[in-house]
Amino acid sequence: MKVYRFKELSQQDIHNICLRQLEDDGSIRDRVSEIVNQVKQHGDEALKSFSSQFDKVELKKLYLDEAELASIAAGIPAEVKTAIDVAYSNIKRFHEAQIHTEAPIETMPGVTCWRESRAIERVGLYIPGGTAVLPSTFLMLGIPATLADCKQIVVCSPPQQDGKTNSYLAYCAVLLGINRIYLAGGAQAVAAMAYGTATIPKVDKIFGPGNRYVTQAKQLIQGNTLTAIDMPAGPSEVLVLADETANPSYVASDLLAQAEHGIDSQAILVATSSDMIDRTLAEVQAQLAVLPRRDIAGKALENSYAVLVDDLAEGMAFSNQYGPEHLIIATTGYESMVPLIVNAGSVFLGNLTPESAGDYASGTNHTLPTSGYAKAYSGVSIDSFIKKITFQRIDKTGLNNIGNTVEVIAAAEGLQAHKNAITIRLNSENGY
Ligand SMILES: NC(=O)c1ccc[n+]([C@@H]2O[C@H](COP(=O)([O-])OP(=O)(O)OC[C@H]3O[C@@H](n4cnc5c(N)ncnc54)[C@H](O)[C@@H]3O)[C@@H](O)[C@H]2O)c1
Ligand SMILES: N[C@H](CO)Cc1c[nH]c[nH+]1
Ligand SMILES: [Zn+2]
């Protein structure tokens, strides 16, 4: 990992090191665009052909049904089942608390306005399954989707080489009451949910993280189909802000936890002491050497770095500019740092709060904006699965109170028909 001294970086340098994506000369976009077009034109046949190419499996059927899922789920090891149950319960509890109703507001006597939530009817959940299958992502998307009461929940995940899915994903489906998993991965799964195929239904909004092909496909279909997306949730990343009281081995473990996701993941250390940086980087090498996914994590670290700052305020200013998916504050008095956080997907406070707790089980959602999109997007929550519809009701007193205001502004805008809609009512003889 490279080490930068913040003081020596120009604004342009800071801008450059905050750019996450490995250089894309347009080839990823072109490839994804070709995949999306194939699915649009050839539907299920294209999906089968891409499964053969990328997942190395010849699929006869593009989904697992309720009975197949139940039978696969029965094979889940007891210990994993219990852990998934605990995670499910915590995540559900945290998300349930996000369901609110809003009180009506009388803006003027006789003029009442309010908002009501309605679930998005057809949602598509993408569960990654490339280098690692992520049942935790199934919980993170499936729990808010079911709590929001979405009518149709379409789930896509890449098939294993035996043409099935593993017992963890199947168990999550059973737990969530989702009775079908579609066996499609990558950009082709996103395209299938955006356009619909003979087997996979079209949805109104697509959710879920994924690699660069998945993320690019979500961005592409958003502009071309009547399909919304949750956010760009691409390669995982973490920024750890550490002072001299941090524990280098804890910090190293947190950096590696995100680095092991994929070669384009990024792990950033921002520290107030060069001694802390040296000790942490030494720990990173020691822990990396014995990780099963050391090849992946090692490549991600080539794309990662440390920044030496003068003080925590400077470190936080850098973090806000970077806008990390995950921000870990490994300092004493982290409470005083909280008000300074402007851009971050999810924040982990203190030395005993590892980021992986949030990945799996503490309750917060792990589907989060990456690549700096934390500057403008929130992570997935109940809100992501609902729309808010505004309502209003005006009575006779209200019409008398608001009528002239509307008439005057309508006239100022030169929109006579708008003005008439008020005047005709105010002048009505029988008063309604
Ligand atoms: N931001 C978040 O909230 C969040 C959460 C969990 C995971 N993640 C990220 O999700 C990603 C998961 O990636 P993954 O690869 O393991 O699984 P994935 O399911 O996203 O992608 C696997 C699919 O990618 C496609 N693919 C692979 N190589 C291809 C190629 N050369 N051309 C076209 N398509 C190709 C294949 O269809 C394959 O099935 C990781 O980067 C991880 O960091 C992010
Ligand atoms: N860290 C990922 C989000 O960037 C989520 C995850 C799933 N499994 C493990 N981690
Ligand atoms: Zn993770």
Domain range summary for the chain, segments of one domain joined by +: 2-20+235-363, 27-232, 395-426
Is the CB of 194 within 6 Å of ligand 1?
A: no
Is the CB of 236 within 6 Å of ligand 1?
A: yes
Annotation-wise, does 360 bind a ligand? no
- Shortest-distance atom of ligand 2 to CA 233: 4
Q: How far apart are CA 344 and CA 378, in angstroms?
A: 9
Is the CB of 158 within 6 Å of ligand 1?
A: yes
CATH superfamily of 27-232: Nitrogenase molybdenum iron protein domain (3.40.50.1980)
> 102 catalytic, yes or no?
no
Q: Is 237 helix (H, G, I), strand (E, B) or coil?
A: strand
Right CATH for 2-20+235-363 from 3.40.50.1980, 3.90.45.10, 3.40.50.970, 3.20.20.70: 3.40.50.1980
> 42 catalytic, yes or no?
no
Fold matches, 2-20+235-363 and 27-232: yes
What is the number of the ligand closest to the CA of 374? 1
Q: How far apart are CA 212 and CA 214, in angstroms?
A: 5
160 neighbors 386 (Cβ within 8 angstroms): no
Residues near 16 by beta carbon (within 8 Å), at least 6 away in sequence? none
Residue ranges for the chain with pLDDT beneath 50? none
Is the CB of 134 within 6 Å of ligand 2?
A: yes
Interval between CA 1 and ligand 3 midpoint (Å): 20
Query: Best mutation site among 91, 127, 134 for ligand 2, i.e. most ligand atoms within 8 A of its Cβ?
Result: 134
Is the CB of 137 within 6 Å of ligand 2?
A: yes
Q: What is the pLDDT of residue 15?
A: 95
Query: What sign results for the dihedral spanned by CA atoms 187, 189, 195, 199?
Result: positive
Q: What is the pLDDT of residue 429?
A: 81
Q: What is the pLDDT of residue 233?
A: 87
Q: How far apart are CA 411 and CA 420, in angstroms?
A: 10
Q: Is the ipTM of this complex over 0.90?
A: yes
Query: Helical H runs in 274-352?
Result: 274-288, 294-302, 312-322
* Total Cβ atoms within 10 A of residue 45: 13
The catalytically annotated residue of 260, 326, 355, 366 is 326
